[in-house]
Structure 1
Amino acid sequence: MKNRLSAFALAIIVLAPAILYLSKFHGGLTDQHGRWGEVGSYFSGIYGSLALLVLAYTTHLTQAQFRRQNEDSIFYKLFDSLQYRIQNSSISIEGKEFSAHKSLKYIVDRFYRELSGEAVEIGRMLFCTEPEKVANVHYTKLFAAINGPTWIETFEEDRAAFIADMTSQGHFNERWEQLKNYIGSRDEESQSIREALRATGSVNFYKIPFKSRQQHYAAALQRILAEQGEFLDGYLSTILYIADICATSKNSLQYARYAQSQLTRYEVVILFYLLAGSEEKVVGAVNLKTLGLLNRLRTLDCQGLMIDFPSVEEIDKEIAAVFEAEA
């Protein structure tokens, strides 16, 4: 359809001067030499100008095609470079070797473990600062860890006494010290108490203010970067450059769709955690959101890789909060 319209427009442009001339001077053929010269001058001026316009247009098309080919070459070479980086990545942990895409899976698993550790801190903080808001189910786990099998016999009394004891403390430091009498010092809790704190923190992970949660993202990220920083820094830089090319190209939609199809679920989760845990603004990060490169976070295969299996609504709020913080 587009080609037909272009051909029709070209025909109109070519025939219009002749039609205009004949509509004004509609006599028959003449045997006067001068008149033929006048007609020739008219048509040569008109079609000479049209020829220049056609030449300029074809030059523009050629340049546009060259730019497109150049963009394609850079874009797809960058993706080849990204795949090469992944294929040649290798992580060695306690004698086990994780290579290529298995290294991406290892990094995602590591984020999960690190954030689970941060959930212990969140749980400890909630019992310290807002014990009255902690659900009964988490008190049952905590008292079962503290009192053993007999916890259920005195549950109501123990919970009321715990809340009264914690809220009676005047300052945060006093509460923090008093909490140690129940669960022990940080990193010195029993495994069962630690699991109770982890469960409390995980369930409340997306309920605490994002500013507080970002500190936990940052703490987890820093520990991972200490081991895998060289790979992750290079990976993020390449992705951001690819996203920049996508965003500034006339073929943005095509490139974005290709990029979305190439990123694995592990890469999408890693990208999110790299942004969420960054303590400084990540230049060009907004392109990842604009191009929809984080949209896959809303799918079950990505949700299952993240702490506490966030809902779509929680993920949307989290993405919005990350980029609001970026701005």
Structure 2
Amino acid sequence: MVVFISPVVLYGYQFGIGLWSEHSKWAELGSFLSGVYSPVIALFAFIVLLVQASWQSKINKYQYDISYISANRDVIDYYIEKMEQYLEKKNEQGVTISQELVQKYYAKSEDALQLERDQISNYITAFHPKVSGIWSALYPILNAMGSNSEFPYEHNYLGSIQKIETILTLPVCVAIDKVYFCINRRVNPSETLFWEGGKNITSGST
């Protein structure tokens, strides 16, 4: 407000302001006001445009983030449903695949897995390829979401992890993580999402 009033006050103080009868006086005042206020108004308009552009950029990013996360959650839900359906199937001994995986791999230590890595990898690839396939498809999606610590990425990442753990149960997730470790040579135990959470349970029962 001061920026807009000050030029008029200064002009009036220096030259006086009144209802002049001479056209030239009004022309001089108009020329002065135009010269002063045009740059000020242009600067003000530029600032407004910058603010609008900044807000629009934030809105666009938020909309993209929500759309990206929503699409990923749909894919995650699809894979979880397919994994749950497969794990509920029974093998020739009448044991569900989830029970089989937990019995065989949940309590195995890293050293034991290293010794039996090829054997486990060949067995899963031959008899339960869906387990490794679905898990291998889930990991890149979860890791991509987890790599961004900003809201809403981290919030949805943690929610997805909790959802998977709740539906499949932690022992099953740990067992599949260990199978995933055996099949994928580039994976370290520290990079798994569920095995690390179950280490305190499994470390004493090799």
Larger RCO, structure (CA 8 Å, separation 6 or more): 2
Q: TM-score range by the shorter chain?
A: 0.5 to 0.7
Residue 274 of structure 1 is matched in structure 2 by: 179
Distance 1:61 1:26, change over 3 A: farther
**SS of 2:193 mapped into structure 1:** coil
* Contact 1:256–1:291 (8 Å) recurs in 2: no
TM-score (norm 1): 0.41
**SS of 1:26 mapped into structure 2:** helix
After superposition, the CA RMSD in angstroms is 4.0
Residue 123 of structure 1 is matched in structure 2 by: none
* Contact 1:108–1:270 (8 Å) recurs in 2: yes
Deviation at 1:244, TM superposition (A): 1.8
Distance 1:268 1:80, change over 3 A: closer
**SS of 2:91 mapped into structure 1:** strand
Deviation at 1:273, TM superposition (A): 4.9
Residue 129 of structure 1 is matched in structure 2 by: none
CA distance in 2, matches of 1:222, 1:60: 42
Matches within 5 A, 1:9-158: 22=2, 26-27=6-7, 33=30, 35=33, 38=38, 39-87=40-88, 89-93=89-93, 97-98=94-95, 102-109=96-103, 111=104
Q: Where does the alignment leave 5 or more consecutive residues of structure 2 unmatched?
A: 12-16, 18-28
Q: Where does the alignment leave 5 or more consecutive residues of structure 1 unmatched?
A: 1-17, 116-204, 304-309, 316-327
Distance 1:214 1:45, change over 3 A: closer
CA distance in 2, matches of 1:272, 1:41: 61
- Determine if the alignment matches structure 1 residue 264 to structure 2 residue 152: no
Residue 23 of structure 2 is matched in structure 1 by: none
CA distance in 1, matches of 2:126, 2:192: 25
* Contact 2:79–2:138 (8 Å) recurs in 1: yes
Residue 292 of structure 1 is matched in structure 2 by: 193
Residue 186 of structure 1 is matched in structure 2 by: none
Matches within 5 A, 1:206-245: 210=111, 214-216=114-116, 218-219=118-119, 221=120, 225=123, 229-230=126-127, 232-245=128-141
Deviation at 1:283, TM superposition (A): 5.4
Structure 1 window deviating more from structure 2 (30-39 vs 75-84): it is 30-39
**SS of 1:46 mapped into structure 2:** helix
**SS of 1:245 mapped into structure 2:** helix
Distance 1:217 1:41, change over 3 A: closer
Q: How many residues align?
A: 173
Q: What are the Cα deviations for residues 263-309 of structure 1, in whole angstroms up to 9, with x where unaligned? A: 42442453255257x4xx615634x643531122422xxx4xxxxxx
The residue type paired with residue 298 of structure 1 is: N
CA distance in 2, matches of 1:45, 1:58: 20
The residue type paired with residue 143 of structure 2 is: A
TM-score (norm 2): 0.60
Residue 311 of structure 1 is matched in structure 2 by: 204
Instruction: Give percent identity, aligned residues only.
Output: 6
Deviation at 1:218, TM superposition (A): 4.5
**SS of 2:83 mapped into structure 1:** helix
Deviation at 1:66, TM superposition (A): 1.8
